Amino acid sequence: PKEPSGSLSADSIKIKKEVANAFVKRQKRSSPYEWYFEYYKSPMEQMHERCENYPPCDYLSDQIGFSLAYNHFFG
């Protein structure tokens, strides 16, 4: 059913869980090693994310490189 504004209502776009599972498959983890690294990031990856989430550091890392930018703001 369409709303007066012409857009679809939220109820009309819902699908059943069984239908969704037919075309959206979770990726299986083949080893505990992959499972572990999905949840626990390396210190270097944490540093990259910290710099990316701080706009001045992210901008400067594009100009002079990640390590210099990170050390400038957080080092």
Beta bridge partners, 2, equal 8
pLDDT tens column, 36-69: 777 788 899 999 999 999 999 999 999 999 999 9
For residue 16, tell me if it sits in a domain.
no
Q: What is the pLDDT, as a whole number, of residue 27?
A: 66
For residue 47, tell me if it sits in a domain.
yes
Q: Give the residue numbers spanning the domain of 59.
A: 42-74
The secondary structure element, H or E, covering residue 62 is: helix 55-64
For residue 19, tell me if it sits in a domain.
no
Task: Report if pTM > 0.85.
Answer: no
- The count of domains in the chain is 1
For residue 1, tell me if it sits in a domain.
no
Given pLDDT bands bounded at 50, 70 and 90, which one contains residue 73?
A: very high
